[in-house]
Structure 1
Amino acid sequence: MKNTNRINLELSLGKQINALISASHALNMKTAARFDSTLQPAAFLIVRWLYSYGPTSATALAESTAMDRSSVSRLVNQLKKLNYVKGEPSPNDKRGVLLSLTDLGSEKTIEALKEKESAFYERISRWDDLELENFIEMLKDFNQPDNI
Structure 2
Amino acid sequence: MSNTNNIFNLVHMIGQITNENIVRFTNEFSYPIGISTIIVLREINNRGPVKHTDLAESLGYSKSSITKIANKLVSLDLIQRTYDKSDKRAVYLIITDKGIAALKESIALGDKIYNELYNILTEDELSSYIEIQKKLLAKISASKRLSP
Is the pair's TM-score, using the shorter chain for normalization, greater than 0.5?
Answer: yes
The answer to whether the 8 Å contact 1:87/1:98 transfers is yes
User: Which residue matches 1:36?
Assistant: 31
For 1:29 and 1:68, how far apart are their aligned partners in 2? 25
Instruction: Give the unaligned 5+ runs of structure 2.
Output: none
For 2:72 and 2:12, how far apart are their aligned partners in 1? 32
User: Which residue matches 1:146?
Assistant: 142
Q: Does 1:27 align with 2:18?
A: no
Q: Does 1:66 align with 2:75?
A: no
The answer to whether the 8 Å contact 1:31/1:113 transfers is no
Larger Rg: 1
Q: CA deviation at 1:91?
A: 8.3
User: Which residue matches 1:48?
Assistant: 39
The answer to whether the 8 Å contact 1:50/1:56 transfers is no
For 1:77 and 1:35, how far apart are their aligned partners in 2? 18
Q: CA deviation at 1:146?
A: 2.4
Q: Please list every run of at least 4 consecutive aligned residues from structure 1 whose deviation after the TM superposition is greater than 6 angstroms.
A: none
More strand by percentage: 2
Task: State the TM-score, normalizing by the size of structure 1.
Answer: 0.67
For 1:49 and 1:75, how far apart are their aligned partners in 2? 8
* Aligned-partner SS, 2:121: coil
Task: State the TM-score, normalizing by the size of structure 2.
Answer: 0.67
Aligned length: 137
Instruction: Give the unaligned 5+ runs of structure 1.
Output: none
Q: CA deviation at 1:96?
A: 0.5
The amino acid that maps onto 2:31 is D
Per-residue Cα deviation, 1:72-126 (whole angstroms, up to 9, x for no partner): 4455344323321111234895530111221211211221232233222222212
Change in CA separation of 1:112 and 1:47 when aligned onto 2, cut-off 3 Å: closer
Change in CA separation of 1:106 and 1:92 when aligned onto 2, cut-off 3 Å: farther
User: Which residue matches 2:116?
Assistant: 122
For 1:121 and 1:90, how far apart are their aligned partners in 2? 42
Change in CA separation of 1:62 and 1:35 when aligned onto 2, cut-off 3 Å: farther
Calculate percent identity across the aligned residue pairs. 19
Mean Cα deviation higher: 85-94 or 19-28 = 85-94
* Aligned-partner SS, 1:137: helix
